[in-house]
Amino acid sequence: MSEPTRARSARETDLLARASKRLPGGVLGTYKYAADAAFVVKNGKGSKIYDVSGREYIDYVLASGPLVLGHAHPAVVAAVQKQIEGGSTYFMVNEPIIQLAEEICEAMPCAEQVRFTSTGSEATFFALRVARTYRQRDKILKFEGGYHGAHDYSMMSSAPRAPKAFPAPVPDSSGIPHSIESEVLIAPFNDLGTVEGIIATHADELAAVLVEPLQRLVPPQPGFLQGLRDITRRHGVLLIFDEVVTGFRLAYGGAQQYYGVVPDLAAIGKIVGGGFPLAAVCGSEELMRPFDPGFDGTGTFISQSGTLNGNPIAAAAGLATLAELRKPGAYDTLHGTGRRLMAGLTELVGKAGLAAQVVGEPVCFDVLFTDEPVVDYRAVQRADAALSKTFTTELVKRGVVKNNQKMYMSLVHSPADVATTLQACEDALKVLPKKKAKA
């Protein structure tokens, strides 16, 4: 077994210290690599990123998912360079954003109109506002463990340490008004019986059900999404798919196409911006029309604006990305590479004799250290998080970078990348504490 021999430069050590001084926790989000695996990114190209010390990593973070074409794809770079020569942003309707709206509506089964935002958090927030406007109801139902961004409603039971009995929510951040707790109901993913009971009890108060069709890593069980669609339709409650992750990833038409279930509204992001800040709410003309400024003063107007909404550079990058995804065989390649890596990982954890399994879809998956069937958040929570963090740390030391519980695939991950990744995983698994699978 090869040991990692990857020295950190004095300059990178200094930069990490400066980051710790000026950035809370020294990071930009909620996850922090172990001290001996931390690094500072200098640049990226294709499936790789490079740190300030000159070390190379095969990248399965991909900027948290937008870079389905990899880093600095020539088509995206060319589109951005061409657009930026005409200005960086306008705060007005522009040709690239019109073209992107048209492409989204062609691709997404639920979409007739689009409202752009800059982040996925905004997209899910405004999708809920659309639902409340249409239904004239305030409550929403979301699923325990579902992540829909960082606004107050989405941060209810997104990752509760001590979950309550359903449908009571748990706020997952300080600073959320207690009053929000009375407006959010929580249900278990993949449990139609419990969901139907909650909706039937609260249908007269509910505006919408918000769901990630692929909840983080947990795939929907057969019939779950269709059952959810049937229940919400029967009770007149809107169904919102959070497709910020799944949009243009599972298929060109997103989870709606991949799983064959069409929601009333969808929030999309990540891939659609080609690596730039862009997201959107999309739905029928009937649901989306309250965004029209002509409704101002009617009592049903949805006020929504943002300095960078409809940014032409992001639109150009998104259009270039989608053009690559429309090429014949793109999704076969994306899924095929993912399936090979999933199969290899499954074989490795089996040989290691660990209580572990590979969970997700071929475009987005990871190893969870549990032998319990993973069908909902509580099953994920019972997996060995410490072992997962150690595994992630050992991979980073060996030149493979991923989030703590997610690996994104791209069109540029090569067979050589897969082989190198599997060797790194094999070596990393060998140094983990042995917690054997149940007999």
Q: Specify whether 242 is catalytic.
A: yes
Dist CA 435 CA 75 (whole Å): 46
Out of 191, 242, 366, 384, which one is annotated catalytic?
Answer: 242
Q: Specify whether 270 is catalytic.
A: yes
- Amino acid present at 271: I
Give the angle subtended at the CA of 196 by the CAs of 190 and 202, to the nearest 5°.
130
Out of 48, 142, 270, 402, which one is annotated catalytic?
Answer: 270
Dist CA 305 CA 267 (whole Å): 16
- Residue 242 host element (H or E): strand 238-243
Q: What is the DSSP string of 15-46?
A: HHHHHHHHSGGGSSSS----TTT---EEEEEB
Dist CA 227 CA 288 (whole Å): 25
User: Is the separation of the CB atoms in 188 and 181 below 8 Å?
Assistant: no
Strand ranges of the sheet holding 265-268, from the earlier edge strand across to the other edge: 113-117, 279-283, 265-268, 238-243, 206-211, 139-143, 184-187
194 three-state secondary structure = helix
Q: Specify whether 51 is catalytic.
A: no
Dist CA 387 CA 270 (whole Å): 29
Out of 57, 60, 147, 377, which one is annotated catalytic?
Answer: 147
Catalytic residues: 147, 242, 270
